[in-house]
Structure 1
Amino acid sequence: MSDYALELLDITCTFRSKDDLSQRYTAVADTTLRIRAGEFVSVVGPTGCGKSTLLNVGAGLLEPSSGTIKVFGESLVGINRRAGYMFQSEALMPWRSTLDNVMVGLQYRGVPDADARTQGEAWLARVGLSGFGDRYPHQLSGGMRKRAALAQTLALDPDIILMDEPFSALDVQTRQLMENEVLELWAAKKKAVLFITHDLDEAIAMSDRVVVLSAGPATHPIGEFSIDLPRPRDVAEVRTDARFVELHTQIWNVLRDEVLKGYAQQLKKAA
């Protein structure tokens, strides 16, 4: 078996304009990204640089224009069924209760309802939502909905977890609680994680490795940093560690110019 859970090899993604098919935009160019089994990897980069595009490629939701995707050494065809995807906005069905939302993926996989219910209740307990299974999404706070979405993803016991800025809409305190909960759950089973974030502090606090992408178009990795902070970590406390500050400075020195380029491009589009 391959040492890598997920490999994106020489990936290029080019899109055509809906209004003018002769116009093309290359979001990602010649990008290679590997995540080992059990490794927590964060990807940071400017707004609009193609981070989510790479995540969708890894999920099998987007076929690249060129390149190869491998999952545990085997070429991916279609949907990546060994991956769970936690979206930026919760993929909770408003007409289903919290427990029913957590159960739905198991039911789609053919797990009998009674077993799916037992597993769903166990996962709600693990994310701190015991007693809230009969509530509907609109009856939960933002943080509680994120916990439900996390339980929904992890209930399927995926070998790879793909996370697209899952905590960006939360307040600072709730966000840190969720980050610590994710780290605790990850430490228990050590799944491969590909985590997309705009927050450099979050990336360093949670990860084994941080990959920096260039500004688009044709984004590609321009830096890779091993995060050698000891585990387990508290995401709030680790920010005061001298090594954390040193790593933040090193990564920001690479990221800064790309953020400024991305910002300038956004202003140009808005003009």
Structure 2
Amino acid sequence: MPHALELQDITVTFRSKDDPGQRYTAVAGTTLRIAAGEFVSVVGPTGCGKSTLLNVGAGLLQASSGEVRVFGEPLVGLNRRAGYMFQTEALMPWRSAIDNVMLGLQYRGVADADAREQARAWLARVGLAGFEDRYPHQLSGGMRKRTALAQVLALDPDIILMDEPFSALDIQTRQLMENEVLELWAAKKKAVLFITHDLDEAIAMSDRVVVLSAGPATRPIGEFAIDLPRPRDVAEVRNQPRFVELHARIWGELREEVLKGYAQQLQKAA
């Protein structure tokens, strides 16, 4: 079977608006494949191009070279088989929780009554029954994340793209959200490409972890199969000896790149 999402030899080069001759290559020669039903996390130093790769997979950004395939077909325009959960919630502040979840369904032509029924069911599934009529400013950070998750899952995408979706949450809420995502993923086994800075999070949730080099011209430098048994509780799994072993191996690959990225940030700030 073809991969759900395949980024083949992707290079992304940006040109300066002020000086078109000045270029910055964020990603170079990167190949990344996610099978149907596979949960893959990508980790790397700050500013290494993780979100750039996600945007290419979503069809929000066109690569300078290389090819994107979705279930074997070349991607042209937006990836309509993917749902995207952003780092910051893409919730409209003037719409209630249920109206936000309904929005994508309405864009797809679902009748308002059916869209409302499906949105209500998804809000209940993520633990927000009774909060349908609350506006984003009336919800906690975790509740807003649950609403954003329902917004994505209501569209029943074949691929889920997640860009550090829980980074702003406190540790307890974050672990609750991680476990909820794993439970929902296990039920339907969608392909997931998950971007995170948190190596513990990547190992606890994933089937496979891909390590990117420091930028510019980032590329994959390591790939690790996560053979921890499922189902997993993200807090409890961290105590398993195999988790500790995997963490040490992956951090051994990642540490030098993180130090490089940190040194580059210091140079820019100087």
Structure 2: how far apart are the matches of 1:5 and 1:218?
25
| Aligned-partner residue type, residue 160 of structure 2 | I
Unaligned runs of 5+ in 1: none
| Residue 27 of structure 1: aligned partner | 26
TM-score (norm 1): 0.99
| Residue 128 of structure 2: aligned partner | 129
| Residue 154 of structure 1: aligned partner | 153
| Residue 142 of structure 2: aligned partner | 143
| Residue 80 of structure 1: aligned partner | 79
Q: Within 5 A, what are the aligned runs for 1:26-45?
A: 26-45=25-44
Q: Within 5 A, what are the aligned runs for 1:104-253?
A: 104-253=103-252
Are positions 1:91 and 2:90 aligned together?
A: yes
Structure 2: how far apart are the matches of 1:19 and 1:96?
38
Q: Deviations over 1:129-151 (max 9, x none)?
A: 00001000000000000000000
| Residue 64 of structure 1: aligned partner | 63
Q: Deviations over 1:180-203 (max 9, x none)?
A: 000000000000000000000000
Structure 2: how far apart are the matches of 1:19 and 1:262?
25
1:18 shift after superposition? 1.6
| Aligned-partner residue type, residue 17 of structure 1 | S
Structure 1: how far apart are the matches of 2:104 and 2:4?
22
TM-score (norm 2): 1.00
| Aligned-partner residue type, residue 139 of structure 2 | L
- Secondary structure of the residue aligned to 1:42 is strand
1:266 shift after superposition? 0.5
Structure 2: how far apart are the matches of 1:119 and 1:253?
45
Structure 1: how far apart are the matches of 2:86 and 2:212?
20
Structure 2: how far apart are the matches of 1:19 and 1:88?
28
- Secondary structure of the residue aligned to 2:230 is coil
Structure 2: how far apart are the matches of 1:206 and 1:157?
20
| Aligned-partner residue type, residue 59 of structure 2 | G
Q: Deviations over 1:199-244 (max 9, x none)?
A: 0000000000000000000000000000000000000000000000
Q: Deviations over 1:104-143 (max 9, x none)?
A: 0000000000000000000000000000010000000000
| Aligned-partner residue type, residue 106 of structure 1 | L
Structure 2: how far apart are the matches of 1:270 and 1:99?
43
1:173 shift after superposition? 0.1
Structure 1: how far apart are the matches of 2:217 and 2:198?
22
| Aligned-partner residue type, residue 265 of structure 1 | Q
Structure 2: how far apart are the matches of 1:71 and 1:206?
23
Structure 2: how far apart are the matches of 1:171 and 1:18?
38
| Residue 264 of structure 1: aligned partner | 263
Percent of aligned pairs with the same residue?
86
| Residue 103 of structure 1: aligned partner | 102
Structure 2: how far apart are the matches of 1:13 and 1:218?
8
Q: Which runs of 4+ in 1 moved over 4 A?
A: none
- Secondary structure of the residue aligned to 2:84 is strand
C-alpha RMSD over aligned residues? 0.4
Q: Report how many residues are paired.
A: 270
Structure 2: how far apart are the matches of 1:179 and 1:47?
21
1:43 shift after superposition? 0.0
Report which stretch shifted further, 11-20 or 78-87.
Answer: 11-20
1:19 shift after superposition? 1.5
1:24 shift after superposition? 0.2
